[in-house]
Amino acid sequence: MTMRKERWKYMLIIGSHISFSKGYEDMGKQAVELGANTFAFFTRNPRGGSIKALDVKDAKRFVEFAKENNFGKIVAHAPYTMNPCAQKEELRKFAKEAMAEDLSRMENIPGNYYNFHPGSHVGQGEKIGIEYIAELLNEVLKSDQSTTVLLETMAGKGTEIGKSFEQIQQILEKVELQDKIGVCMDTCHIWDAGYDIVEDLDGVLKQFDEIIGLYRLKAVHLNDSMNVRGSKKDRHAKIGEGMIGKETLVSVINHPLLKGLPFILETPNEIEGWKKEIKMLKEEYKEK
């Protein structure tokens, strides 16, 4: 695996989760209000799965707006209810259909990212879970899609798949359309899974590179964690208010191997809190 070229001289690409309730263009405007140049949004009700009617004109207006405002890539998020490796067939079917529909919609805002949780194997075992996830991706991904689908690194709560770089790689290597997939690394999740980004960020990234390949890393979820390393809890904290701490998270945005990636805040905040975090991170960012 080759180390990706160091990404110097990039602007910080930073944003938070934004509500899709008023459509695409409105999300762009909300992002600018926050001082952001990217964002994440749930493609459908995150805890249910219902989807808003599609407004193609609104999507077009957003694409223009994003260009005019120099946005980086947007990181859409699949709903939590989607479990690609569920034991029940109808749940896997929902995951497949929902992802297929989401990806076809994503073509209205082409060239962005779509990130999803690999899911929980609910007792069937990792091996079967990994098979199911790869199977679903092989059925849903299309050679002509412009969206890159990102597997998210998980904390390992319950029977979650994706708690180790090895598990992520085992899924990735089973996917046929290799240029349509990548990884979204969540700092809270990898910390909770046991990766020591506080004492050895370089070492963790080296492991990522050796096992998965840093060229696969397309986005970062920038979160602090309420719990100790290895807790497998997955409870996000505000930047600097958790066990990872501000210093480490600032070194994540400034790491030469991570520059140029979109950083998405999933911190427990409202508008004002995100504004403050974005402002602080911009101040701490070294554009060099």
Residues 167-206 that bind Fe ion (CB under 5 A): 186
Q: Pick from 221, 244, 257, 278: which binds Fe ion (CB under 5 A)?
A: 221
Identity of the residue, 105 or 163, whose beta carbon is nearer to Zn ion in the bound complex:
163
Identity of the residue, 71 or 114, whose beta carbon is nearer to Fe ion in the bound complex:
114
The partner in contact with residue 192, picked from Zn ion, Fe ion, none with C-beta cut-offs of 5 to 8 angstroms by kind, is: none
> What CA–CA distance (Å, rounded) separates 258 from 215?
10
Identity of the residue, 25 or 152, whose beta carbon is nearer to Zn ion in the bound complex:
152
Choose one: 6-14, 20-28, 154-162, 259-267; the region binding Fe ion (CB under 5 A).
259-267
- In the chain, which ranges are continuous DSSP H helix? 24-34, 56-68, 89-106, 126-140, 165-172, 187-193, 197-211, 246-253, 271-284
Other CB atoms within 10 A of residue 9 CB: 9
| SS3 assignment, position 44 | coil
CB 92, min distance to Fe ion, A: 19
Residue 153 one-letter amino acid: T
| SS3 assignment, position 136 | helix
> What CA–CA distance (Å, rounded) separates 58 from 26?
9
The partner in contact with residue 102, picked from Zn ion, Fe ion, none with C-beta cut-offs of 5 to 8 angstroms by kind, is: none
Identity of the residue, 63 or 264, whose beta carbon is nearer to Fe ion in the bound complex:
264
The partner in contact with residue 25, picked from Fe ion, Zn ion, none with C-beta cut-offs of 5 to 8 angstroms by kind, is: none
Residues lying near Fe ion in the complex (CB under 5 A) are found at 152, 186, 221, 266
